[in-house]
Amino acid sequence: MSNIAQDIELVQQQIIAAASAANRDPIEITLLAISKTRPVEDIRAAISAGQEHFGENYLQDALPKIHSLKDEFPALCWHFIGAIQSNKTKDIAECFDWVHTVERLKIAKRLSDQRPQGLDPLQVCLQVNISGETSKSGIMASEVMQLATDVRSLPRLRLRGLMAIPAATDDIAQQRQAFAKLRQLFEQLNQQGFQLDTLSMGMSNDLESAIAEGSTMVRIGTAIFGART
């Protein structure tokens, strides 16, 4: 087995252990392999280990990979997790299944308008700036309800949940605190009648904390594909 296939198994075991520690069913947690900057051969190695969900940050890097695998592996599910510029929405709406980084209504409208009729609605998460740093992307907690309400009415999008990239820290208590904030926002939306099922949170360094706080989708790059150069 390649290292990548082995590492996927290790991460899956980590997910199972973290779910078990949190009294959760691991089936609720989807492993999203973040293949940004990786060659298509690495994605093939992951596919051979049964991996179907892949996340990409950079459109120009992602499109050739998606196109070269599409016919052979139609079941793959592609997630866009990078910053979105207006001139990129058409390609994103046509080539991806999910977008985790919706933070502006204008972009959401373009994605909805440009989603091809022959495809299922685009599955989206709103990105929340949970650590409150002005330099980080994502909307503030206070803006979540309004954007969720607006996005919910767009016909070709399906609002699935919330996503965050908290400030990096090795302090477990701080990791958990940030993820708990996102979970609370998610619960508030559902109490207001939204039917969200996705909390996209947790990366290679903090997936245990994220799962303890309710993550349903962990986004793992380094622990599967090695350090990015």
Residues that bind ligand PLP (CB under 6 A): 34, 36, 57, 81, 165, 203-205, 219-223
Alpha carbon separation from 23 to 17, 156, 178 (Å, rounded)? 10, 36, 20
Q: In this structure, are residues 122 and 147 in contact, taking their beta carbons and an 8 Å threshold?
A: no
Residue 24 or 219: the one with the smaller Cβ distance to ligand PLP is: 219
Output DSSP code: residue 151.
H
Comparing every residue's Cβ against ligand PLP, the nearest one is: 221
Residue closer to ligand PLP, measured from CB, 5 or 145 = 5
Nearest approach, Cβ of 129 to ligand PLP (angstroms)?
13
Report CA torsion sign: 122, 115, 153, 110.
positive
Least separation in angstroms between residue 207's CB and ligand PLP is 8
**Two tokens at 51?**
């991996």
Nearer to ligand PLP, 137 or 177 (CB): 137
Residues 42, 56 contacting (CB under 8 angstroms)? no
Smallest gap from residue 147 Cβ to ligand PLP (A): 18
Cα angle 160, 197, 11; round to 5? 105
Supply the minimum distance, in Å, between the C-beta of residue 221 and ligand PLP.
3
Please name the residues in contact with 73: beta carbons below 8 A apart, sequence gap of 6 or more: 47
CB of 42 to ligand PLP, least distance (A): 13
Nearer to ligand PLP, 36 or 109 (CB): 36
| DSSP for residue 82 | S
Q: Nearer Cβ to ligand PLP, position 177 or 205?
A: 205
